[in-house]
Amino acid sequence: MQYRTLGRTGVQVSSLALGTMNFGAIGSTTQEEVTAIVDAALEGGINLVDTADVYSRGESEELVGTAIAGRRDDIVLATKAGLPMGEDRNRRGASRRWLTTALDGSLRRLGVDHVDLYQIHRWDPDTSDEETLSALTDLQRAGKIRHFGSSTYPAYRLVQAQWAAHARDLNRYVTEQPSYSILQRGIEADVLPAAQEYKLGVLVWSPLASGWLSGAIREDREIATNRSTFMPQRFDTTVPANRARLDAVEQLATVADEAGLTMIQLALGFATAHPGVTSALIGPRTPDHLHAQLAAADTVLPADVLDAIDAIVAPGTDLAAHEKNDTPPALLDPSLRRR
């Protein structure tokens, strides 16, 4: 396992991190299974565990809390808030009111008195940067969080937040958590350069592209992944974007075979090769999934393999741009782009 400094924090984190969205109802995982995955991850050298309040409506945090009991100090623990946690319109977003309440809930479910990294799950257009940063700065000074960051922010919002913190003498985001994989390379054009400019740690999610790069999805083979059951539209090969992904996967499989690598090694080796990336979040649902991904922990792709990947999916290109999750609101709501 490689270890890297998380942005400007001085904290050392593993190049592969344990993502926990599959813990609980979403992945149908039990406490026993979660504890086994956490045990194996720590034994494999992973020291960063990332969860969120919204994962299985808090169940993921509860399972993680039980799994890490007694070894809290050995783990860099991260969670997130901001996505809806109920029907009430104020149980979401990045206001001081909600973040204060949400963090207390996360700490209770995790069974800890602080988290090492608290992240805003999505940019909240209804809340000013100053409001959010002021609340996070106060929570940090209260000792409830050690550092804070953002998740899936467009590049211009990263820059604006840095300037808002400077102008108001507030503490700054130190990390960003974007989606990144061989099939979704859009952040290379703007988010990663901005993160490097401000020395942000970058924790990328979905480096296996929701299973597209796991090796299980191939031409003329039935698509059967956990994600395909609740996000079937992402795997419908009659959709042009999905057809493009499948065509790319077939070419990437040849590159992996010629390099003597599994598809997982190719995908994770790619994600951690970019100098702007600190760690890649893996989201195993079973111990077998975890071990297959841990096998890529020390994979370093040579230049010719990276060149071959570039020839299949051009740098800065998203094959499924509609799944970016950081699209400016005006591109989604016509009323916001018309007078």
Q: By residue range, what is the domain housing residue 206?
A: 3-337
Q: Are 43 and 32 contacting, i.e. CB atoms less than 8 angstroms apart? A: no
- Whether this model's pTM surpasses 0.75: yes
Burial of 334 (0-12, 13-18, 19+ CB in 10 A): exposed
CATH number for the domain spanning 124: value is 3.20.20.100
Q: How many domains does the chain have?
A: 1
In degrees rounded to 5, what are phi and psi of residue 34? -60, -45
Per annotation, catalytic residue among 3, 55, 118, 173: 55
pLDDT for the residue 224: 63
pLDDT for the residue 227: 56
Active-site residue, 198 included: no
How many CA within 13 A on the CB side of residue 287? 14
pLDDT under 50: residue ranges of the chain: none
Report residue 334 CA to chain centroid gap. Answer: 29
Residues 320 and 311: their CA atoms lie apart, in Å, by 17
Q: Are 176 and 195 contacting, i.e. CB atoms less than 8 angstroms apart? A: yes
